[in-house]
């Protein structure tokens, strides 16, 4: 039950994001229906982390199953911070009310998607600590930050999708190796990694403070 409230809250917030888009459609055409699709994709790592956390709590240490879920989670995790890059679609007309609606709407989509990713990372961090060890959990956590940024590069710049690892691995895998030496890929990996790390630190600190305050 502990994880159901965050899922319910994020569901309500996601519906509110869709409401923003619906209002936009009433005044003009849709900004881009890929917004709704990308928001849906940000839910996949969240649900995977919820499943992993539930399994680890109910059945104890299942390192192989958690490792499999972690790999699948990592494939979809970049879809959460990816929505930050949708802000590049914003066209600015300071005298238009639609401009300001779009600013808030795009930021709202990106915010909810990013929260989905951070919560999923928090749940997996707990699962890694519970299944392996605190040091292993910390290493996996720190590695997730730049890998998430690298995944954003593959999606936004190279235009790969998460499911291409199954549909087109013969072209995806060589491109991943080549992209590892790309300056833009390195920049996005580092800067997105710092962004995710900073936001995760805030989330972790707030939750730790809440827990300590409860028992003090």
- pLDDT band at 212; cut points 50, 70, 90: low
**Number of C-beta neighbours around residue 160 at 10 A:** 20
Q: How far is CA 185 from CA 6, 45, 157, in A?
A: 32, 22, 9
- Looking at the whole model, is its pTM more than 0.95? no
pLDDT of the residue at 155: 92
Query: Each residue of 161-200: pLDDT tens digit?
Result: 888 888 899 999 999 999 999 999 999 999 999 999 999 9
- Distance, CA of 131 to CA of 70 (rounded, Å): 12
H or E, element range at 174: helix 169-179
Q: What is the per-residue pLDDT for 74? A: 96
Q: Is the pLDDT of residue 13 over 60?
A: yes
CB atoms under 10 Å from CB of 129, counted, come to 17
* Rounded distance between C-alpha atoms, residue 44 and residue 1, angstroms: 19
Number of Cβ within a 10 Å radius of residue 164: 18
The angle at the Cα of 80, spanning 79 to 85, to the nearest 5 degrees, equals 80
Can you give the length of the chain in residues? 216
In contact, 40 and 11? CB cutoff 8 Å: no
Q: What is the pLDDT of residue 32?
A: 66
């Amino acid at each position: 039950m502990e994880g159901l409230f965050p899922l319910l809250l994020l569901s309500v917030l996601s519906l509110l994001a869709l409401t923003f888009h619906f209002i936009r459609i009433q005044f003009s055409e849709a900004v881009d229906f890929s917004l709704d699709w990308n928001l849906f994709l940000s839910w996949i790592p969240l649900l995977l982390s919820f499943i992993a956390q539930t399994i680890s709590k109910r059945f104890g240490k299942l390192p192989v199953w958690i490792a499999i879920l972690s790999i699948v989670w990592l494939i979809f995790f970049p879809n959460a911070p990816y929505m930050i890059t949708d802000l590049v679609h914003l066209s600015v007309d300071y005298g238009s009310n639609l401009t300001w609606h779009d600013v808030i709407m795009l930021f709202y989509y990106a915010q909810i998607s990013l929260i989905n990713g951070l919560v999923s990372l928090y749940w997996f961090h707990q699962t890694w600590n519970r299944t392996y060890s605190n040091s292993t959990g910390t290493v996996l956590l720190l590695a997730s930050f730049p890998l998430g940024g690298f995944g954003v590069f593959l999606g936004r710049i190279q235009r790969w999708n998460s499911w291409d690892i199954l549909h087109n691995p013969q072209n995806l895998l060589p491109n991943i190796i080549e992209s590892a030496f790309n300056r833009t890929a390195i920049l996005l990996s580092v800067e997105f990694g710092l962004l995710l790390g900073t936001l995760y630190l805030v989330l972790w600190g707030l939750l730790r403070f809440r827990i300590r305050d409860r028992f003090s």
